[in-house]
Structure 1
């Protein structure tokens, strides 16, 4: 059942979801209720059961928080979702609050000013973190407003609410993972010993899947499964999940690693059995879990698996290069097919193009799923950073046009994420450059930023926020900018957005380290006209040369797909930038050409020809 179906059922029963929630708030004597886009495992993508914000508001973007008071209702989200949110909230009682735009207050500050002293603000304690509570509670407390954790109210107001998923779980072989689950568990126990902690609670699904070398499909786009994991120094690790969905091979692999299996619902009662001190990550553990551990001794720090998982080992790195090679073949075949289809006058639209690319990827026997919902935007829709196309809303491809496609795949040997922006020229008549005269300059400035980051050398230990401006400098020089981060971490056959690394203004102190994967995706967006983004995935590696100033890092580009030469203003490129692009295109051609033939090979030859 879809969210909209459930909303219809609620209306038929007499109340809209918003009215039903306000009735519940009145019974509980609550002045406001906060609904983040999260589940008890703090995931970016959540199972249908936990899409409570979408159920109430209709906004389905992956980032945003709804706040409901007795008289008001608002959605807080960032610039990636402004246009999508505006469309979703049309005709509803919800107001859009644009974060980091003008003087817009964040929702804690807004609540502190909008509510009277002694008001009660509630949140489901399972879906917010300890760190969230530490940030929000003092703001409300200063305004004499009480913040309370409540049990999930949506079972009472959501007819036919989806059940918890329980899809099959399978092992990931050590041949692909590079390190056994037993070795990973022992490494985590060694960290506990160093930290003088007796036990550790892991709630995040990608950390659990990575630690145990198992994968599932409970969450859209992420090959993970609902579970909790506890690790102690002196006793076996315990996995809490629906045990009946574990394949025989997964059971055998977990038994070999010494993992004990228990039902998912036994997790809360087990918390009181854990030896203390107990290590939990305040950014990745729910307020409800921490509350159940109090008043026992707790150590708040980043969970050790986060850093271990981010630094890909040699085996993972080798598999990632191969996954990106095959992904590049799918993209080249798609782009070559699209050019032929346009020339042949075939009717295409944003949705059919996204599905066609998926078909090219699905031919790969290693393909499992897309790694996120493909962003397929023609002209003005490409300026919507997280545009979500449907068959009903798909814009037709009518040349001349500028087409942006941001997509990725989950393969059993790696995760990909790549964006290309291409000019779509008609078979006859004026071309794209005549229809969009400013596009080549915009595109080339984005390309210059992309190259600047891809070729950067920087000291080991540098946080991502300190190099974000490198990719923006060519745009800033001409008073242009983009509202999203330049790069995010990527998992290994795991979440397409992974921490702790991030290349973005104001991001954490987490240093970029050898083996991490980051995206490189500067962009430029002109609402109503076009969007431009060029994205490759990069692997961090050590610079082999020694320096009296310490160790340095550089990037290895993993993604393999031509960058559209038709949109480049060559006069804006320096000789070194031209050289980088020609060398990149040469590598794309030599790596992919052996597996292509006929018209696809001819297209690749043209697309990777030197600029000179």
Structure 2
């Protein structure tokens, strides 16, 4: 899952003209506009949607670069179609991953040759990225890399820019968190000691929320809040707008956590740098730390480490595992109700567009215990819109859901006890042989991942081929990863794990207690899209042998929603695949039927869809 939108163009001519005036006033020839906020968040608050504002491209991934006469937008294969439809004639689209297409860094460096200066808001780029750009600018005989304290796009946006959110924080109780923040601080301090650090700077919002057992509402669909943290052997400081701190939060944090204003960290880091960091004991930062943060530290007074909180957060404790399983059962019931309702509505000839249909799904979810909100905007896509991999419909411009067209629905919810994300591709009429074959090839890849057994120490990088193998045999593929980590009432996309071809997925081994998605797909441009997504839990597996005294791991599927039998060709499934599918459907039925005992129609629909193939 990732988030995009339906296509509509924005005229960016006036915005670019204003930006170029400001660039000239600030002696900047090339200006970089990243997608991320000051915390390197994948999903951002409206106030931080600078790249979207200046380019008109609404996808969640990409980077804009503007010069005095050119502008480029770089994004990956999930968003090629969307970007082509949304960018106006002022922009050059850089399709990442295609042959001979430069990255945004390469494009910017080329434009900076001849001594031209490159500018960027220092809070929006990581220190690691800034260091690479600095080195390459020197080698390419470019000008300076200027880390700016102010943001030029904000100046163009001006009074129309949304305000920063001020919603109060909430305390996540032990019945959901499973581990106190005091215990978590003890563990993190052990890691600081192990790394011989004098303190740890924490800038990722989900890490801070997890560490202190707090949640917020600053970024839509992600229960996080704008903040920084600093943890030393003797102190824990939370930098956050005090207007968000309720009496309950103060009581929760007690005297163990000092609360300071959000921006105070930058001056404090200079103080910590002077008083606590030594050659033997440096301040620890992670690779996500912004250039603005590290500029507050002398280079020889800090060291970069792998994020210890990110790694700890990825492995769910027993309470979180139980909560995630329960949340997925309730969420599965909501989807079952929705898909049965949609079939009935379409069979009667009722009219529903992609938005009104998705709204009904949200209503089913709202009725479930511990529901907080959606975990991302529902990707409700009919027919050819499904080929836009992460399409988000808009009222008045979206398509009608029709009985004789494939319908792809990628959706999820935030519950106090877990975060869900699943995709189902359905057909309520008579699908074509091509659609059936494509769906079944994707299903085979999905089953291959679901049934994988692998030795301890394996990464998601090596599992990706399992999902694609059947498509590859037909010369087909898909332009997105096969899986992403999932938070527990946190971000629906959670690092550091994933299943895909990114080399970073080879750096972290899958471990028991991690939740990850399993979502292969196939997209026929202009016709249809297919994706099948379940969330799975990494568990230990019993094997007949134990080569090298290794433990072996595999997955338990926790999503509880039937697959589409109309789109499945049993002749393309082998006996083991049929066995898995039938057992999965039996599990779905057993876990959800009691919730539907007063709903005869939906229960009959569920019984039919979960029948053996």
What band does the TM-score fall into relative to the shorter chain? Answer: over 0.9
Q: Deviation digits for residues 135-184 of structure 1, max 9, x if unmatched?
A: 33333322111322112223432221222212110100112111100000
Deviation of residue 244 (structure 1)?
Answer: 2.2
Aligned-residue CA RMSD (Å): 1.6
Which of residues 96, 106, 110 in structure 2 aligns to 1:109? 106
Corresponding residue number in structure 2 for 1:452: 448
Contact kept, 8 Å, 1:131 with 1:282, in 2: the verdict is no
Identify the residue that residue 428 of structure 1 maps to in structure 2: none
1:479 corresponds to 2:475: yes
Q: Name the SS of the counterpart of 1:198 in structure 2.
A: strand
SS at match of 1:525: strand
Mean CA deviation greater in 329-338 or 80-89? 80-89
Distance verdict in 2 for CA 1:487–1:281, change over 3 Å? farther
Q: Report the secondary structure of 2:433's partner residue.
A: coil
Report the counterpart of residue 129 of structure 2 in structure 1: 132
Instruction: Tell me which of 587, 605, 612 is aligned to 1:610.
Output: 612
Contact 2:207 2:310 in 1 (8 A): yes
Displacement of 1:278: 4.0
Contact 2:200 2:285 in 1 (8 A): no
Matching of residue 555 in structure 1 with residue 559 in structure 2: no
Show CA shifts across 1:557-579 (max 9, x none).
01000000110111100000000
Aligned pairs, number: 590
Per the TM alignment, residue 195 of structure 1 is displaced from its structure 2 partner at its CA by: 1.0
Number of the residue aligned with 2:458: 462
| 2:285/2:302 contact within 8 Å kept | no
Equivalents in 1 of 2:183, 2:542: separation in Å?
29
Distance 1:570 1:279, change over 3 A: farther
1:420 corresponds to: 424
Shift of 1:302: 1.2
Residue 286 (str. 1) matches residue 290 (str. 2): yes
Alignment of 1:170-249 (within 5 A): 170-233=170-233, 235-249=234-248
Runs of 4+ that moved beyond 6 A: none
Report the CA distance between 1:296 and its aligned residue: 4.7
Q: Is the 8 A contact 2:456 2:510 kept in 1?
A: yes
Alpha-carbon shift at residue 44 of structure 1 (Å): 0.9
The residue that corresponds to 1:20 in the other structure is 18
Q: Is the 8 A contact 1:280 1:303 kept in 2?
A: no
TM-score by length of 1: 0.94
Q: Which moved more, 1:344-353 or 1:541-550?
A: 541-550
CA contact (8 A) 1:124 1:150 kept: yes
Give the Cα–Cα distance (whole angstroms) in 1 for the partners of residues 241 and 397 of structure 2.
38
| 2:126 counterpart of 1:122 | no
| Matches of 1:300 and 1:390, distance apart in 2 | 42
Alignment correspondent of 1:250? 249
* Residue matched to 1:598: 600
After TM superposition, list the pairs within 5 Å mapping 1:509-524 onto structure 2. Answer: 509-524=507-522
Shift in alpha-carbon separation, 1:249–1:221, aligned structure 2, 3 A? same
Report the equivalent of 1:370. 374
- Structure 2 distance, partners of 1:278, 1:309, is 24
User: Given the alignment of the two structures, is residue 318 of structure 1 paired with residue 316 of structure 2, yes or no?
Assistant: no
For 1:51-90, what per-residue CA distance to the aligned partner results, in whole angstroms no more than 9, with x for missing partners? 1111111111110100000110010001101111111113
The alignment partner of 2:254 has SS state of helix
CA shift digits 1:330-365 (9 cap, x unpaired): 000000100010011110111111111111101124
Following superposition, the deviation at residue 392 of structure 1 comes to 2.4
Which one of 308, 319, 338 corresponds to residue 342 of structure 2?
338
Match of 1:328 among 332, 340, 352: 332
Native 8 Å contact 1:57 1:94 kept in 2: yes
Which residue number corresponds to residue 92 of structure 2? Answer: 95
Deviation at 1:279, TM superposition (A): 4.2
Question: Paired residue for 1:401?
Answer: 405
| Cα distance in 1, alignment partners of residues 565 and 53 from structure 2 | 44
* Cα deviation 1:468-487 (Å, max 9, x = unaligned): 10111111111111111100
Verify the 8 A CA contact 2:523 2:529 in the aligned structure 1.
Answer: yes
Q: Does 1:307 align with 2:311?
A: yes
Q: Tell me the equivalent position of 1:3.
A: none
Task: Summarize the alignment of residues 256-295 of structure 1 with structure 2, pairs less than 5 Å apart.
Answer: 258-274=256-272, 275-276=276-277, 277-295=281-299
Q: Which runs of 5+ in 2 are unaligned?
A: 1-8
